[in-house]
Structure 1
Amino acid sequence: MRMKVFVIAALAFVSLVSVIDGSEHEAQLSEFVNDALFSSVSSKQPSQPQPLMVPITVINGAAAKGAVCLDGTSPAYHFHPGSGSGANSWLIHLEGGGWCNTIRNCVFRKTTRRGSFKFMEKTLPFTGILSNKPEENPDFFNWNRVKIRYCDGASFAGDSQNEANQLQFRGQKIWLAAIEELMSKGMQKANQALLSGCSAGGLASIIHCDEFGSMFPKSTKVKCLSDAGFFLDAVDVSGGHTLRNMFGGVVTLQEVQKNLPKSCLNQLDPTSCFFPQNLIQHVQTPLFLLNAAYDAWQVQESLAPHSADPSGSWNDCKANHARCNSSQIQFFQDFRNQLLNDVKDFSKSSPTGLFINSCFAHCQSERQDTWFADDSPLINDMPVAIAVGDWFFDRKTIKAIDCAYPCDTTCHNLVFK
């Protein structure tokens, strides 16, 4: 198997730099990186089958419940009904897309699809774990599949407002309104359900995992999948804590602590309890962690952001890992070691699942090429889709952890241009 490389062209970045500085620049670059990562070169090849396009649905009566996007518009989701053996099975996928941690960048976010219904795409392709084709999604193709749109900026977990700037931080209410509506559409009769999410949505799937499980009778098989949601409280290249500072702003501004596990808050500060490494021990519902050991978003925005590297000495390396020197690669190896150490106890629990591949990637369940394709990334000859399916249906115990870079030749590594 040859290693595949996907090139992300940062054309939008040029105009971005001229209008945004400081933390707002980083928050919006995060937004750009997150979006760019979802579109691979292979998805544009004409030989690829056309994905299912699913229209948007506004959540009925959400505004009356205070469940609104940052700008006060109604939240939404995309739903494709199940059929046959999957008619009573439900997959709920939480959209990702960074966070906003200051008034300024939350105000900016209101002018994007990450903060307002007005700017959301009205149809979305369902690929990867959301695909309706058995050859692309062998275990979940005929389930009821839902993608809940992300427009609050705090991983569906905030509950506050800022009247002076007309900002509504209502992620928790959006989450509850969406689930309530889906329950009324038949999910309350589900015999099995999977809550998944990617990136900021992957963090949300950890935060809301037990809450999701509690909504079903004990007879329902309920599990959760976090894809690229394991954000580490790691030291950046300057010795600082870029991501901790950003998360601290998100938690304080949006009052996220209201919706974090009390068992964690009894031990740690609210910002620490927003980090998955401190959350996972408090999750009782079976949880699967899918993560690249060298997560491309964290490399760009947490480990070597511009604020930690103003001279740009990491620019070549973080754009293309092939250009990293030995000390830079060692920095990434230390990051991987921290990740493995943080999941060590989690992995000992029999209901949990792991797929940690040694790739420079991000969000591998949403993209068809990384979820299930002829040349998908593998650990022990097993692609992501089979690993997740085997775990969900209890066919196998899945604790798949790759050897360190550069051993994996099946990666679809992301290269920024």
Structure 2
Amino acid sequence: MKAEFACLVLASVALPSRGQDPYFDLVRLEGAHCNDGTPAGIYVRPSAGNESSREPWVFFLEGGGWCYSLSTCESRFFKDDGRMSSGFWEEVLEIDDGIFSQDCNENPTWCNANHVYFRYCSSDGWIGTAANTDLGYSFEGSIIIDTAIEKLISGTATMPQLDPNSSKVLLTGCSAGGRGAMFNLDRVVETLPYTKALLDSAWWLDIPPHQNSGTWLTEQVVRAYNLHEPNIDQTCLEAYGEAQGYNCYLAEYALPYVEAPAMSQVYQYDKALLDIAVRWDQGRWDDPDLLSYAETWRRETLLSIDAVGYASNPNRSVYAPACNDHCSGHTDYFTEILVSANGTMLTLEDALALFWSGEQVIAIDTCDGFGCGEGCNE
């Protein structure tokens, strides 16, 4: 399948002194495993503020596709073993874009947050509980999240202690990580009640692909559902039944059963999904047939957003640029793309700050034309 990308700068450097810097330290998680059985891990960077224990926490779930069969898992391991094993992970990551920026002028809400980067090595959209499957791989994404939270509550060498009774947490992630935030949000809230979510580019649709597509999303989720032993929300599972529980992988069906506050960042022409739908990754949308399909995709995206019922649920917010791109929260798009909400132009950083403060945000581009949103990379 087409990979989902979370572009980061990885640095193998000597551990710097603490203060305002972009460096995250690796904490390995005993009892939670990557696909190949090596220990899973998180990267942590404490707040640079004077009272770090009082600052918000950002839990970012890395994205990057998945695998759902022996052939797709073997191909994934061959192409990027770091997505399935921690054996060669760096001890330090350098991350300083978007929500991770420590520039309080451009990122005032999150510049002094305690940041935790959940490295993705389970290849399951952060929903699996399967250890030692017949394929020879484990899929423990949901277990990794639970284990990491337990570790942060018990304490690490460099981070303040996560307090279930007072710590405020933003659970977010890109693509597969955004879906993981959606899948796990209500369960995380059971342990950390002051948790909200930003679901970045997590909006998978149940619509037919273009005629030239390969393995389509719905087929992928059916196969993943039967492999990963997913930790699916029980209310969603009861609604669709065991045989069709795979529907709970798709945002348009799953999100109505998520109770905790969540804001969705939805590209109306999501690049990663359209690339899968048409097997077209060259950015050439001058073909009339492909452009027609892209406009159908946009219409279905907007209809599915409306069907989720944002207007009637104060716990739901949405930020939907008319761009052909994928993921914003950890990129410069966090502060560059603009969408109107009741006549006020908002960046994603603006919208997220309002949502975090308790306001509902409904910002949906209504301009005409492919990639017509303000600030889009088109």
Check whether TM > 0.5.
Answer: yes
CA distance in 1, matches of 2:272, 2:289: 20
- Following superposition, the deviation at residue 337 of structure 1 comes to 1.4
- Following superposition, the deviation at residue 180 of structure 1 comes to 0.8
Structure 1 position 114 matched with structure 2 position 74: no
Structure 1 position 195 matched with structure 2 position 171: yes
8 Å CA contact 1:38–1:363 kept in 2: the answer is no
8 Å CA contact 1:159–1:173 kept in 2: the answer is yes
Structure 1 position 335 matched with structure 2 position 297: yes
Find the partner of 1:139 among 109, 112, 115: 109
CA distance in 1, matches of 2:70, 2:199: 28
Instruction: Write out the 4+ residue segments of structure 1 that deviate beyond 6 Å after TM superposition.
Output: none
What RMSD in Å do the two structures reach over aligned CA positions?
Answer: 2.2
Out of 396-405 and 276-285, give the one that drifted further: 396-405
8 Å CA contact 2:167–2:192 kept in 1: the answer is no
- Residue equivalent to 1:90: 57
- Residue equivalent to 1:214: 190
8 Å CA contact 2:278–2:290 kept in 1: the answer is no
What is the correspondence of 1:165-314 to structure 2 with a 5 Å cutoff?
Answer: 165-185=135-155, 186-188=161-163, 189-217=165-193, 221-238=194-211, 242-256=216-230, 259-268=231-240, 269-301=244-276, 303-305=277-279
CA distance in 1, matches of 2:66, 2:171: 20
8 Å CA contact 1:359–1:405 kept in 2: the answer is no
Q: With the length of structure 1 as denominator, give the TM-score of the two structures.
A: 0.77
Q: Which has the higher helix share?
A: 1
How many residue pairs are counted as aligned between the two chains? 345
8 Å CA contact 1:293–1:357 kept in 2: the answer is yes
Q: Deviations 1:348-402 (Å, cap 9, x if unpaired)?
A: 21221111000011111111x2012xxx1101321111111111112x4310000
Q: Deviations 1:109-167 (Å, cap 9, x if unpaired)?
A: 44511100013343321321122221232101111111111111111211224455431
- Residue equivalent to 1:34: 5
Q: Deviations 1:5-54 (Å, cap 9, x if unpaired)?
A: xxxxxxxxxxxxxxxxxxxxx2xxx23x525x668xxxxxxxxxx97122
CA distance in 2, matches of 1:341, 1:239: 24
8 Å CA contact 1:107–1:165 kept in 2: the answer is no
8 Å CA contact 1:52–1:127 kept in 2: the answer is no
3-state SS, counterpart of residue 264 of structure 2: strand
Counterpart residue type for residue 205 of structure 2:
L
3-state SS, counterpart of residue 366 of structure 1: coil
Find the partner of 1:350 among 314, 317, 321: 314
CA distance in 2, matches of 1:328, 1:270: 31
- Residue equivalent to 2:22: 52
Closer, same or farther in 2 for the Cα pair 1:166/1:196, shift >3 Å? same
- Following superposition, the deviation at residue 104 of structure 1 comes to 2.5
8 Å CA contact 1:54–1:79 kept in 2: the answer is yes
Q: With the length of structure 2 as denominator, give the TM-score of the two structures.
A: 0.85
8 Å CA contact 1:355–1:398 kept in 2: the answer is yes
CA distance in 2, matches of 1:330, 1:340: 16
8 Å CA contact 1:365–1:371 kept in 2: the answer is yes
Closer, same or farther in 2 for the Cα pair 1:51/1:187, shift >3 Å? closer
- Residue equivalent to 1:378: 338
Q: Deviations 1:192-222 (Å, cap 9, x if unpaired)?
A: 21111110000000001111111135xxx32
3-state SS, counterpart of residue 187 of structure 1: coil
Structure 1 position 363 matched with structure 2 position 363: no
Q: Deviations 1:60-114 (Å, cap 9, x if unpaired)?
A: xx23xxx110010001111111233653221111111101010232234445111
Counterpart residue type for residue 88 of structure 2:
F
